[in-house]
Amino acid sequence: MKMERTSVHFPQWPALDQSLWSSALMRGDFLDADGMAATWAPATKIQVQKGYGKWIHFLTQCGALPAEAALAPDQRVSEVRLRAYLTLLESQKLAPFSIASRISDLREALRVMVPQADLGPLGKLCKTLQSRATPTRAKHSRIRAPFEVLSACLTHMHATIGSNSSRPLQEAGKFRDGLALAFLAMRPIRLKNLASIEIGRHMVWADPRWTCHFPAAETKEGRDLRFYLPEDEAFTWALSLYLTKYRPLLLQDPAQSQRPTGPLWVSLRKTRQSGQSIYWNTCRLSEAILGVRINPHLNRDCAASALSCDAPDYILAAARILGHSSLTTTIGHYEQSSMLAAGARLTEFILDLQAEGQTGGDYDGDGDQTSAAEPAGIFWDITA
């Protein structure tokens, strides 16, 4: 079934809109200033351009274009049309946050294309939609402690070894996905940076451990990001096995087992694994081994929650590790520690009940069982 297109590509925009958008993105020379969107990150440019393309699609559907193609873009905006646009977005079954994002894209596009435009009403609409938007999925129910994720990944990787000797590439891919999810659990960097890792450039061996460094130009926050990879024995074993056995197999280059260089994550086609592939593979794997879908970004929530729960004095470290310039961002968007603590207490209570049933009396806690509430400790190096 062919999906209906809901956005107009840039070459099909009205000529005036194309010209204004191109000017907004243009870098100036020593005589001319940069366009207002010239310094945006590439991903932001793409998102806003696609979002504005949805507005163009709506204007075409309602008959405003091409009749109003010569009008300035802000002159095509009215309360009646905005209400109709919201109705269209809702009919497409978009989540509330997605609808708010589409209106924000429209405002940002108009702001940089027509700097003198009065966008006050559009700005108020954005704030209203963002304040009313509620998550469509219960994120807190999918939070898992990083060491729980790591443990499940290690079990998966151990089970993978020798599981598919007739199709070694598939076995290598399964091991790689387990390591990628474990990496995200222990070092929850953004997916874009994870997919870009190159050995010898971002990831360097500095005896006795691996060091990772992303320059400011490659991070969302525009600041250098540095950290050590975990020295946990189990994680080190998995990384070493991947580098010496499975990654060379994926590259079909045995020499890589001795002197690894190039992309850390390799696809079955001997090329760099894409961010999209890492995303879907780790989502599927987390569902299979943990029973919940943990997308790459959710690992950041898991990390901040665990750190604030097990070591609240180090919540500032969580903000630094996650690359946030403001502690408010860490707490407001990622901190789910109360849920983790409640889950740990519930698990402990259930274990006590089970023990009572097994012994027929009061559980005295003398067994070897370990409560899920027992703090795991700090699970990463805190670096400047």
**pLDDT tens-place string over residues 90-127:** 999 888 888 999 999 999 999 999 999 999 989 899 98
- The candidate with the shortest Cα–Cα distance to 37, out of 49, 51, 26, 52, is 26
Mean pLDDT of 10-39: 93
Q: Are 102 and 54 in contact (CB under 8 A)?
A: yes
Does the pLDDT at position 231 exceed 50?
yes
pLDDT of 342 reads 42
Mean pLDDT of 252-270: 96
pLDDT tens figures, 300-358: 877 766 665 554 445 555 555 555 555 555 555 444 444 444 444 444 444 555 555 54
Mean pLDDT of 256-277: 96
Q: Are 71 and 59 in contact (CB under 8 A)?
A: no
Does the pLDDT at position 360 exceed 80?
no
Mean pLDDT of 185-194: 92
pLDDT of 72 reads 97
pLDDT of 375 reads 34
Q: Is 284 helix (H, G, I), strand (E, B) or coil?
A: helix
pLDDT of 135 reads 59
Mean pLDDT of 43-64: 95
For the ranges 50-64, 146-160, 261-275, 324-338, which has the lowest average pLDDT? 324-338
pLDDT of 373 reads 34
Mean pLDDT of 193-205: 97
- What gap in Å lies between CA 100 and CA 118, rounded to an integer? 19
Does the pLDDT at position 254 exceed 50?
yes
Does the pLDDT at position 36 exceed 50?
yes
Q: Residue 3 — very low, low, confident or very high, per pLDDT cuts 50/70/90? A: low
Q: HEC string of the chain?
A: CCCCCCCCCHHHCCHHHHHHHHHHHCCCCCCCCCCCCCCCCHHHHHHHHHHHHHHHHHHHHCCCCCCCCCCCHHHHCCHHHHHHHHHHHHHCCCCHHHHHHHHHHHHHHHHHHCCCCCCHHHHHHHHHHHHHCCCCCCHHHHCCCHHHHHHHHHHHHHHHCCCCCCCHHHHHHHHHHHHHHHHHHHCCCCHHHHHHCEECCCEEEECCEEEEEECHHHCCCCCCEEEECCCCHHHHHHHHHHHHHHHHHHHCCHHHHCCCCEECCECCCCCECCHHHHHHHHHHHHHHHHCCCCCCCHHHHHHHHHHHHHCHHHHHHHHHHCCCCCHHHHHHHHCCHHHHHHHHHHHHHHHHHHHHHHHCCCCCCCCCCCCCCCCCCCCCCCCC
Does the pLDDT at position 363 exceed 80?
no
What residue type is 56 in one-letter code? Answer: I
pLDDT of 204 reads 96
Residue with the larger pLDDT of the pair 137 and 242 = 242
Mean pLDDT of 130-153: 79
What's the CATH number for 141-296? 1.10.443
Does the pLDDT at position 21 exceed 80?
yes
pLDDT of 344 reads 44
Q: Residue 176 — very low, low, confident or very high, per pLDDT cuts 50/70/90? A: very high
% of the chain surpassing 70 pLDDT: 76
**Domain range annotation of the chain:** 10-132, 141-296
